[in-house]
Structure 1
Amino acid sequence: MGIETTITKVVDACNKLTETVTNQIGKIDARVDAASNQFTAWRNSVQAKDINGRALYKQEIDLTGLSTDVFYPVWWTMPGNEAGETEITISRYFSRDSQKAPFGEGVVHIAGLSLQLEGIGYIWSGDSNFMAVKRISQTYRETVRGISFGMICTARAVTGLRPMYLGLTAGQLTNSPQFSGVYLRGGLSYSITKTFDYPINFSKVDSEVSMADNVTADWEVRWSVKPYSMAQADAVIGKVYQNKSLAYSYDNDARYTSKV
């Protein structure tokens, strides 16, 4: 009986140990599952800025359904020096929107665009204040005009009770000191990749819209933009851009005499 009792106690102890181990394994599994879920949630939400990188923000500009013979205004204000150099890429895949047939049924090669811009600040800012075209590529059809550090716009009076800013006259074509921008071709959609989190502005209407009103005790001005037809574009927002895949070619070509 003594041996049987001892064996019984050993078996009971083994069973209890097995139960304890099983319970602990269950707790470990639960903790592993919780940690895995936390990691998955972090992986799905983490951005480059959260791990000492630089965030990129996406935005879509949809001008489909509008006339492909018109360029529509798109404008923004870049952050200053402390944000580092701003990067903006405006792009579209060459066959994008083909299902909407902007140039007719069966046309698949619509228009490709890769416009890479870099800059800091705006004309009225006290920081570095520049914008450069790093690269530009347009395929099949042109998509962009009027790339400008000072957005090409029209000066208007706000109340008519004060002189216009810097002697501008109402209706005069000028450059906005608060905004940079471009004009994008209608009938198409575009992707924006940028290093600032607030949205880029654009207008889809055929009439003039105000970007901003500035009124002081001594002067006033409204900075207004509107779309321009392709027939108007050369005279108002500039000529067609040539493709430049070599970085900063537009600036370098203007600065240096070409060698022959």
Structure 2
Amino acid sequence: MLVSRVLPDPPRLDALASSETISLFLDFDGTLVDLAERPDAISVAEGLHTRLEKLSDRLGGRLALVSGRAVPDLDRHIGQPKVARAGSHGLAMTMADGGPIGPEPAALAPDVVRLFRDFAASRKLLLEEKPHGLALHFRMAPLLEDEAADFARNLANEHGLEIKTGKSVVELVARGANKGAAVHAFMQLSPFAGSRPIFVGDDMTDEDGFSAAAGIGGFGVLVGERHPTAAAYRLADPAAVHEWLGL
């Protein structure tokens, strides 16, 4: 349930991990790295790859990155850490050893891709093409937000797709793309099964992860400010996330 209230800091991670078996699900952009004007312009802290692997080891392998980025794009920025990963808002999932979970999802139809490309070019918007989705970024053209959202929504309705909205972005994805669904899928598998899930994220698409974690006895941690939210706790920014995680 989404609520508007002042959120406290989460309990210390080492205290949680020492008192119960927990799993961590971490968003990437806006959570582990600061947002940038372009998706390819983010700055990743040196050694993040190694520190995430060490954190996963501390948790017995119960760490997963759950991102709107495609898994190959995520790996391009942080290497290929030996942690579980869900990309494209949960459509594509891998275990820590790189083994896929479920079948490879289908790409969007060529006609949809063409229409999105044409719209982005005509409005001079940044189009991010992913294996399983298309994202229009309007951070540098905020006045086009409503037009971009309407275009994506109409196209989604016509082709049986869904849209995801975030910070200065609207994305077209296949039905079923849901970070909460990714949490539920991981929680059915070893080593996550039977643990208490904690989801950390900053954007609207992370609300599904917060709700999923809460529904299994865990909780969400919101990064930054947004109301209402299903998260139970809050951290100020990615730097605070790194400190809380001990990275």
* TM tier relative to shorter chain: under 0.3
In terms of fraction of residues, the more strand-rich structure is 1
In terms of fraction of residues, the more helix-rich structure is 2
State the TM-score, normalized to the length of structure 1: 0.24
